[in-house]
Amino acid sequence: MKKDTIRFRATNILISLILIVVVFLFVYIAACSTIILETSHMEQGNLKALILLTIIFGATLIFLIMGGLSMYNTRFIEILDDKILVHEKVGELKKETTCLSGKMKNKCEEFLIEDIQKIGYSSELYGHPLEFHQGKTSYQIKNYEMVFELVNGEKITIDISQFSRKSMRKLFLHIYKKIQLLPEKKLRKDFYIYEGLM
């Protein structure tokens, strides 16, 4: 990474991963305690159950950690002075739904800050999400997908629920300093962004 590069990591993924690991460990300890306390001495069957439980929990935990770290390492936003790079995993939506059509794919999109025409929630700008983002369902709140609409009509999406509020405010501030563009109304309100504060 170059010296003048600013990188925003999807820290909320890491926080969620830590919480999941803690809950899994708590459930594992509770299950082991129950098996041990069932009998005053370890019978052969209980010992086998404990070993099997340890293997299942261990394998599941490793799978979750590897998946979470993979998501964390492949999702970030970089600012290179006048350019923004968006690294995200997305899928195409089925027509008029919020369901995935096909497979998820990693994307890396690069664009100039001066080419940004609008920044806002896709739900506010277009009335619906534009891409499928992992872990999102139609039952969740609409305002997770942010869009950079460029002057050529291209639309770059980001699942902002993965990033901290502080990171997103820094991103908006950087863009404002470059081209004096604020996000659209709803996004601006959610992140407490007002011209006087910039």
Q: At what angle do helices 11-38 and 44-74 cross, to 10 degrees?
A: 180
The span from the CA of 59 to the CA of 44, in Å, is 23
Kindly tell me if the per-residue pLDDT of 152 is higher than 90: yes
Give, for 58, the enclosing helix (H) or strand (E): helix 44-74
Asked if 94 and 32 count as a contact pair (C-beta separation under 8 A), the reply is no
Output the CA–CA distances (angstroms, integers) from residue 197 to 33, 47, 81, 116, 182, in the order listed: 54, 62, 22, 21, 11
pLDDT tens-digit readout, 75-119: 778 888 788 888 776 666 666 555 555 676 777 788 999 999 999
In 128-176, where do the E strands start and end? 132-133, 145-150, 155-159
Enumerate the domain spans of the chain.
6-73, 76-197
pTM exceeding the 0.95 threshold for the entire prediction: no
Nearest to 130 by CA among 142, 113, 141, 118: 142
pLDDT at 138: 42
9-13, 41-45, 187-191: least confident range: 41-45
